[in-house]
Structure 1
């Protein structure tokens, strides 16, 4: 049996391999990937985990103190829109993109006959966020923009798709999504940017302003605008690709724009837009976020007019899961730092991870990490299936059910994990004491970076309303019911019996809640939407964890069963006397398996109330 990881041998969560130390991610990808895909991916993920844990992590701390700077004008007062990046950021970008973080899921990588599933991109984003969640924003938008162009673009956009998915950094461009306007915010239908067709130049031109433009100088920027006589609201929005460089004024219509190592574009080559300023943000310093004013910028229509919002929604599915993967990566990094610090920091005569309260905290942080990662990669599996079906022209009830379930799970994934990242990062600072509050220690930056995650790609309220739309328009409760029942049906080990009973009871209560909201007025349904979203997460995740527990018990390890039991107890049970009267010592007895990944012999687990032996004897 595996004794787990001795975190006391590390000084900090730096100069380590994040893939090797994250057995939760390893477990989920073994289940999510096909066998041959995982066999191909494992050594590459291990190599990427090594790169992120060493070079990218070191560079990320430097970039946080010396981030991108905007040089809007040249010395002659001409608009150049140059964003100057530190060399460390250019190095990080080269390392990540040439490792295939985007390319591998759009074209067959070396050694394979077909692209990897989108889950692979999300797994690499997850690992990247152990070091730099800010840089993950451009990576996510590059993949999202490529997905949109692959599905809706025509021949005029093929050079941009090829550049977005390039494995060669020198030929790569990044993507962006200019969506938010000052007067609109989450109300995208209030957008006022307009698109006019220039008959003389035979191109579209955009006029208006965008208020939050992350990765502001991207060459593959997607923006929404309203064409002449288009209806109000989201129905009248069209999607355009707006390059950093004016494609009519440069020798090569696809350039690296502001990231050219030999300097900025010539003023006459800059597209007709003005980068007014970069936002002075709390965190995510590595991604430049600015305000952009379109003054007749050359733009290329993507797909059909007045279809932009639906096309953007396709991108949002991947962006929201990217946000959730980033949240899991932050939780993973903070948890790793907390485990290492607690194993080495002595107080009152022993390491603080030997004190009962700290043990309970680390157990519950680890359980949250497992729950979030399990849920997110189940949702990513469904997204990957959907995209594979789109590329191969498959259809049928199975594909339809996967899409409907995905539409429900994705907004919940983003909603729940973003808040979890903030809470975990905040408590990780507390574990480190005063050091955690200081810029020299990474927990400070992780909290600052995490704080944007509940805002990016839709706030919790917006996402909760999207959950209602998925239920109403997609009848998503049907595939949800089937998915939960399928997973609970095979759970039979005695040690899971009590947890199974709880989850089955809560599952039926969830069905009652869904039926209740279906019969209520819109106002009450919206009032209950956030509670419903969290309820779906808790019940669905519990079913996933129990299913994985049964499978791993059959393979000879009951560790995940302990995780599942703790998650069910924390989220779905209401103990008497708030648990104080129960004499529950679970956190002390299950510390080694849950926190240190020690394996557990299923034959040594009691069959009813959980562990009764001290952790050292499991």
Structure 2
């Protein structure tokens, strides 16, 4: 491509684009974590995926999908109500590639049963890679995958829907789901007056001869061009989960009235909407009055994906920062050779390495929870813990990555500004930080014995690491306090750090010791790089982070 010329100067000392990089092969911590947690056999598949998603073409498609945001078209040219959302072709390209790779269904069998083996770990590696390129389109992908868990409460409905969900064809047509090559599912839970407190929902469901008719609203519903949604509404028996398709059984457009699309800080390629239901058709999922317990099966999986996505965003931030530092010269030396920049990047690399080990360890628990009660207990207790810590770590981490690029990191021409705007959403969606902490307290009260066993396992897995024994004692003491809610954030963060050290200890023990020394044995400073790492460790970390 011909470069623009300037009359006054020559352009030099700029880092080349970070593209046409195999995002799996270039990520040794990811490869090691996948191997440690059961996904070694999938290496060829992940190599192919990493090469595609690291290509310049996919980077460009991700940029275009975010620059040209979705548009709501409430009516067609003749005045008929349609309530459709139009997307840039780049968004559909991202969706096509994600669906082809099974990001929406590969953890399920064709019948909607857990696929088992290492399907969660392998899918998570792909999801982690895809998040580094474009995160917005992953919203309908994760909801489709997770909705299967909730639909299991209504076996007949699952049997009808699963053949369409189980394909790897992306079909964006606005048509009844049962006529399509493939389908996506969304979710609508929160209302204006309730937010997180879904028991305050006022949307009502009335039983009819062919199902239910739902009247009310949702303040947030993503993604509005899905083929059906799982929604909560008050039925005669209480708060209930419903399957609401875009079309009624006779093929008419269902009465979902989108009011507007949300103007969000990030997540720009994905549409999120406000909606009213004007007697919309729906089918019940699970028993009346069991809506929360039904839909929580979906929420556990979307929370898992929030953590995976945030880990991917941080990995991308580190990669771009390290790539830039290796090419940019300042004061007659490359940035990557400057001791202070080395300290910053190495500290960031330790954080990412522990994070990817932790999310892969969680996915291993999802893989094995149906056959191993200990893994099931790990999943139930630590999913909100891990979502809390990983997702809340991402915004400050990505800010630091932006600063490594200086002004180039702050402008929208590069990807880091987009990553930074994207990063808060995973901590907010599917339960904010306080909600995660309260969920941990509930898990402790309901399954105290199982939770104690998880903590003991973490203690065993971190034995000998700096500060680990003291962290175990502090966690136990905090959760036994009469005012445990007041210190829940402190205890949950400490528990996440312990779990991360344990997960990394199975992957790279030397780096687990570094992580524990800087995070468990001491209070980690608020700024990356404010730690004393040995030069040999710095070199090893940076070479491992991006060969």
Normalising by structure 1, we get a TM-score of: 0.80
| SS of structure 2 residue aligned to 1:525 | coil
Instruction: Tell me whether 1:203 sits opposite 2:211 in the alignment.
Output: yes
Aligned residues: 517
| 1:510-529 per-position Cα deviation (integer Å, ceiling 9, x unaligned) | 33333x32xx1xxx221111
Mapped pair 1:162 → 2:163: yes
Contact 1:105–1:120 (CA under 8 A) maintained in structure 2: no
Match of 1:606 in 2: none
For residues 508 and 92 of structure 1, what CA distance do their matches in structure 2 show? 46
Superposition deviation, residue 427 in structure 1: 1.1
Instruction: Give the SS at the match of 2:484.
Output: helix
Asked whether the 8 Å contact 2:118–2:367 carries over to 1, the reply is no
Aligned partners of 1:339, 1:318: CA distance in 2, in Å? Answer: 32
Q: How far apart are the structure 1 equivalents of 2:170 and 2:373?
A: 37
1:456 Cα offset (Å): 0.8
Correspondence 1:359-378 to 2 at 5 A: 359-378=342-361
Task: Describe the shift of the 1:274–1:575 C-alpha distance in structure 2 as closer, same or farther (beyond 3 A).
Answer: closer
CA distance in 1, matches of 2:211, 2:471: 57
In structure 2, what is the equivalent of residue 60 of structure 1? 62
Task: Identify the range of structure 1 (49-58 vs 286-295) with the bigger mean alpha-carbon deviation.
Answer: 49-58
Per-residue deviation at 1:10?
7.6
- Render the CA deviation track for 1:287-342: whole Å, top value 9, x for unaligned: 10011100011101112211111011111111111000000100011110000001
Deviations 1:557-599 (A, max 9, x none): xxx50x22321122122389x8xxxx98525332221111189
When residues 342 and 501 of structure 1 are mapped into structure 2, their CA distance, relative to the original with a 3 A threshold, is closer
Match of 1:589 in 2: 536
- From 423, 426, 434, the counterpart of 2:396: 423
Which sits farther off after the overlay, 64-73 or 331-340? 64-73
Q: Which residue in the other structure is 2:5 paired with?
A: none
Structure 2 partner of 1:140: 142
Q: Which moved more, 1:50-59 or 1:525-534?
A: 50-59
Q: What residue in structure 2 maps to residue 215 of structure 1?
A: 223
TM-superposed deviation, 1:62: 0.6
1:487 pairs with one of 461, 467, 472: 461
Q: Residues 80-138 of structure 1: CA distance to partner in whole angstroms, max 9, x if unpaired?
A: 011111111112111111122233221379xxx97752233222211110111111111
Deviation at 1:67, TM superposition (A): 1.9
Q: Determine if contact 2:329/2:335 at 8 Å carries over to the other structure.
A: yes
Other-structure match for 1:474: 447
- In structure 2, which of residues 182, 186, 189 is the aligned counterpart of residue 179 of structure 1? 189
Distance 1:72 1:108 in 2: 35
1:372-420, Cα deviation, whole Å (9 max, x unpaired): 111111111112212xx2xxxx5xxxx3332222111000111111111
Could you tell me whether the CA contact under 8 Å between 1:145 and 1:220 is conserved in 2? no
More deviation in 433-442 or 536-545?
536-545
The equivalent position to 1:454 in structure 2, one of 416, 427, 442, is: 427
**2:321 aligned with 1:347, yes or no?**
no
Cα deviation, residue 447, structure 1: 0.4
**Candidates 489, 494, 499, aligned match of 1:535:** 494
SS of equivalent residue, structure 1 residue 481: helix
Is 1:30 matched with 2:4?
A: no
Q: CA deviation at 1:9?
A: 12
Comparing 308-317 with 534-543, greater Cα deviation is found at 534-543
1:604 corresponds to which residue?
Answer: none
Residues 414-454 of structure 1: CA deviation (Å, up to 9, x unaligned): 11111111111111111111111111010000001112121
Contact preservation (8 Å) 1:72, 1:275: yes
Distance 1:294 1:62 in 2: 32
Misfit runs of 4+, over 6 Å: none
Change in Cα spacing, 1:443 to 1:575, as seen in structure 2 (3 Å) is closer
Larger deviation, residues 589-598 vs 288-297:
589-598
Query: For the Cα contact (< 8 Å) 2:462–2:501, is it kept in 1?
Result: no
Provide, for residues 214-253 of structure 1, a one-character-per-residue CA deviation record: whole Å limited to 9, x for no partner: 111211310011102x3xxxxx2111111112222x2xxx
Aligned residue number for residue 412 of structure 1:
385
Counterpart position of 1:320: 303
Q: 1:456 to 1:127 in 2, by over 3 A?
A: same
Shift, 1:275, TM fit: 0.9
Counterpart of 2:52 in 1: which secondary structure?
helix
Q: Tell me if the contact between 1:385 and 1:402 (Cα under 8 Å) persists in the aligned partners.
A: yes
Match of 1:190 in 2: 200
Question: How does 1:382-393 map onto structure 2 within 5 Å?
Answer: 382-386=365-369, 389=370
Relative to structure 1, the CA distance from residue 98 to residue 547 in structure 2 (aligned partners, 3 Å threshold; closer, same or farther) is closer
Q: Which residue in 2 is equivalent to 1:304?
A: 287
Rounded to whole Å, the distance in 2 between the matches of 1:280 and 1:32 is 39
Partner of 1:505: 470
CA–CA distance in structure 1, aligned partners of residues 425 and 408 of structure 2: 22
Structure 1 position 24, deviation (Å): 1.3
Decide which structure has greater helix share.
Answer: 1
- Deviation per residue, 1:255-294 (Å, 9 max, x gap): xxxxxxxxxxxxxx21111011111111111110011100
Aligned equivalents of 1:575 and 1:18: distance in 2? Answer: 32
Q: 1:587 to 1:242 in 2, by over 3 A?
A: farther
Taking a change above 3 Å as real, the CA distance of residues 543 and 195 of structure 1, as seen in their structure-2 partners, is: same
Q: CA deviation at 1:531?
A: 0.7
Secondary structure, aligned partner of 1:277 = strand
The aligned counterpart of 2:4 is none
| CA distance in structure 2 between the partners assigned to 1:432 and 1:508 by the alignment | 41
Query: 2:522 and 2:317 mapped to 1: Cα distance?
Result: 28
1:232-247 matches, within 5 Å, as: 236-247=238-249
CA RMSD of aligned residues (A): 2.4
Cα separation, 2, equivalents of 1:205 and 1:177: 17
1:572 counterpart residue number: 520
Unaligned runs of 5+ in 2: 1-12, 172-180
